[in-house]
Structure 1
Amino acid sequence: MKTKALLIFTRNPELGKVKTRLAKTIGDENALTVYKDLLLHTKNVTHAIDCDKFVFYDTAIINDDIWLDEFYIKKLQASGDLGDRMQQAFDSLFGMGYKHCVIVGSDLFDLRASQIEMAFKKLENNDAVLGPAEDGGYYLLGLNQSNKDVFQNKEWGTATVFEATVNDLEGKKVTLLETLNDIDTFEDLSRSDYNCSLFENKIKVKHN
């Protein structure tokens, strides 16, 4: 067992249940395509990072998918809101003996392995690492020990999450990574590296 653990939170890729805000513009099928591409990007970015890697599914573990057992350990997210689920995931891995734990979502075409590796490096001399998202949330959180405060009393999915988390880490040694764009809406998607040309005609038809 390594001392570093990467937690990847995912949603099961099901039609009509992922990227629902994006789907309002490009439709459920296209939103599912985008999310599957986001999952693939996240897998490609993370598979070679030197740490133990855990994929936490939201509803059910899928045995035969892109997350190969050779590289990823599969777990199911706990019940409760996002904060409850993240807290229990962190607690479980710290309980297993890991010293540095970093969580990322699966919503960023801008995510790179170097950012995750930098987060682990920063945890050697800091209590926490945060990767701010442009929408006011965060795309990455790294901790060296359990801290339930950062997971409680948050309005998840709003622009207040990053600031509230920083406030909860007052008195701790915290470092920030660069700000990235996570994908929730078509505007987010259009600012990313993703090729949106496939959806242009559908969007024009819907807006007319």
Structure 2
Amino acid sequence: MSTIAVAVICKTPAPGKSKTRLSPPLHPDECAAISACFIADLTATIAEVAEVADAAGYAVYTPAGTEPALRRLLPPGFGLVLQGEGDLGARLHKGISDLLDAGHAGAMLINSDSPTLPAAILRAAVEALQGGDRVVLSPAADGGYTLIGLTRPHAHLFADIPWSTADVYRLTLERAREIGLPVVELPGWYDVDDALSYAWLEQEIDGVPPAVGRPGMTGAPAPRTRAFVRARRRTGRAA
């Protein structure tokens, strides 16, 4: 199979368990609601890319048993792969490995916190993964990465990384150098996971380009996320 698996790694939204770092400013039920918007919008972008590139859309998800609720957020035809156990590194490694084991020529995982991630970045990642053994990365504004893609499993990339810190991207590059793995660095983007980055999202919706990415690069439409933010701003609380 020559296709590239393009997957969002996510947790099926539930109040009190989703995007908790966004509370405040959001209430727990709003955190779950905006998480659903993020997943729906990001996977719509993935589906758009899959229409013009040799790619297939997936969700690498948790927890087990929430498949019907998650499928309501996904475009038709998306595959589901259950996340493994352990820390984020272990789950990322298993997610990549499972997608490659399904027969794809390459696999990438995208965090579920970047609803306006441009389709251009995803298309570039798909193209880069068609060029042999390498790691493809898009840095995030907080020092992590928005996506990671591989054509072969490399457990060392995910070993001993202090997740949720500003050192994630830098240390991942170091791991790649240690194993002699070529790196393709793509333009970066930002995650929406706290009050500051939620303000960035509001600014982007108001027409202010994010201070990340390539000059002139515009975010994806993200209609559900935009509608959520505008409704919350108008009423003080999203519907």
Q: Give TM-score scaled by structure 1 length.
A: 0.88
CA contact (8 A) 2:49 2:123 kept: yes
Aligned partner of 1:26 in structure 2 is 26
How far apart are residue 56 of structure 1 and its match? Answer: 1.4
How far apart are residue 110 of structure 1 and its match? Answer: 2.7
CA contact (8 A) 1:47 1:71 kept: no
Match of 2:102 among 96, 105, 126: 96
Aligned partner of 2:116 in structure 1 is 110
How far apart are residue 199 of structure 1 and its match? Answer: 4.9
- Total equivalences in the alignment: 202
Residue identity in the other structure for 2:154: N
1:47 counterpart SS class: helix
1:26-80, Cα deviation, whole Å (9 max, x unpaired) = 2212222221211121122111323122211111242251224x42011211111
CA shift in 2, pair 1:125/1:74, >3 Å? closer
Aligned partner of 2:209 in structure 1 is none
Q: How does 1:137-148 map to 2 (within 5 A)?
A: 137-148=144-155
**Partners in 1 of 2:131 and 2:47 — Cα distance?**
25
Alignment root-mean-square deviation, CA: 2.0
CA contact (8 A) 1:100 1:144 kept: yes
**Partners in 2 of 1:156 and 1:29 — Cα distance?**
26
In structure 1, the gaps of 5 or more residues are 204-208
Match of 1:62 among 55, 61, 67: 67
Aligned partner of 1:174 in structure 2 is 183
1:102 counterpart SS class: strand
Aligned partner of 2:221 in structure 1 is none
CA contact (8 A) 1:13 1:36 kept: yes
CA contact (8 A) 1:86 1:151 kept: yes
In structure 2, the gaps of 5 or more residues are 206-225
**Partners in 1 of 2:43 and 2:4 — Cα distance?**
17
1:158-204, Cα deviation, whole Å (9 max, x unpaired) = 1111111010010322121112110111210111235545258859x
1:24 counterpart SS class: coil
**Partners in 2 of 1:35 and 1:119 — Cα distance?**
24
CA contact (8 A) 1:26 1:199 kept: no
State the identity %: 24
CA contact (8 A) 2:144 2:168 kept: yes
**Partners in 2 of 1:169 and 1:200 — Cα distance?**
46
**Partners in 2 of 1:200 and 1:136 — Cα distance?**
32
Tell me whether 1:189 sits opposite 2:194 in the alignment. no
**Partners in 2 of 1:157 and 1:76 — Cα distance?**
22
Residue identity in the other structure for 1:161: V
How far apart are residue 100 of structure 1 and its match? Answer: 1.4
**Partners in 1 of 2:79 and 2:235 — Cα distance?**
40
Q: How does 1:146-157 map to 2 (within 5 A)?
A: 146-157=153-164
Runs of 4+ in 1 over 4 A off after TM superposition: 194-197, 199-203
CA contact (8 A) 2:81 2:95 kept: no
CA contact (8 A) 1:30 1:199 kept: no
